[in-house]
Amino acid sequence: MHSSKSTRFAPDRGLTTRMVSTMFFIGLLYVVFVGVLLALLRGAWPLILLCAGGMFVAQFWFSDRIAAFSMGAREVTPEEAPELHGAVDRLCALADMPKPRVAIADSDVPNAFATGRNRKNALVCATTGLLRRLEPEELEGVLAHELSHVAHRDVAVMTIASFLGVLAGVITRVGLWGGFRRVGGRDSNTAVLVVLIPLISAVVYAISFLLTRLLSRYRELSADRAGALLTGRPSALAAALTKITGEMARIPTRDLRQAEPFNAFYFAPAFSKESFNRLLSSHPTLEQRLEQLGRISARLGRP
């Protein structure tokens, strides 16, 4: 889980430290969570281990396909999207990194995302709404941001980190729907499990959610910084951020609601963070991002 030593993206020790710390605490939480389930449901341990292991493998190995499918991404050839491929080609040559697969999502919500458990099977996707609204330099700024996620490997870490929350959420729902009651009958022990397991699952979900949100906000600032330094045009990325945030207000709420579950993977959140508690936000505020880009511009001596 090193940073980006093999590419020209600026390494970020702070990001690496946070990824390692998040993985440690998520792993510890996972072990404790499964241990508690095994202690409470002694007779069901094969099923618990099978479900936990199966969900982890599915989440890790198929995360890029699941995310791409969920967000409507369709892989495109250079002939189908020459401008998009050309921008990715230039940035990958500049960063000295392998070219990921390139996709387009048919959505008017102006956004982009990167997914994949490593650089070899990474995918970078832009929506039709983004391609239609941004100038070439602005688009390159957004793509540089997304490619830095691939170079820093934080996409894979976010995928793994989110697994425990997904598992806990599933078990919580099963418990709340009375699944454990139906399985175990109506004795007092079953009644305790019906209350205890959803409660423990909810606590685990809340902790893992906060840990991944904390990492997500930092990784977005890190990607802004790395992308701006790679292209040498922080003002283009700032212009893209401002334009995208402004355009979100014109998108139908229904479309934004469809995009909201994937906020942590998108370049910009579907809803402005002013409407949410910062602790629960997947992204830093627009002001924080623009302020950082302004500092980089001053350091580079560019407007």
Is 135 known to sit in a ligand binding site? no
Instruction: Read off the amino acid at residue 125.
Output: C
The one catalytic residue in 83, 146, 247, 291 is 146
Phi, psi of 21 (to 5 degrees): -65, -45
Q: How far apart are CA 189 and CA 203, in angstroms?
A: 21
Q: What whole-number distance in Å separates Cα of residue 103 and Cα of residue 146?
A: 13
If residue 133 lies in a helix (H) or strand (E), which one and from where to where?
helix 128-133
CB atoms within 10 A of CB 156: 22
Q: What does the alpha-carbon distance between residue 97 and residue 89 come to, in Å, rounded to a whole number?
A: 10
Binding site annotation covers 220?
yes
2 is in an annotated binding site: no
Cβ-based neighbour number of residue 250 at 10 Å: 8
104 DSSP β-pair partners: 74, 126
Query: Which residue type is seen at 135?
Result: E
Residue 192: alpha-carbon gap to chain centroid: 36
Contact between 197 and 266 (Cβ < 8 Å): no
Whether residue 115 contacts residue 67, with contact meaning beta carbons closer than 8 Å, is answered with yes
146 in catalytic set: yes
First vs last C-alpha separation in the chain: 35
Residues forming the active site: 146
Residues contributing to the annotated binding site for Zn(2+):
145, 149, 220
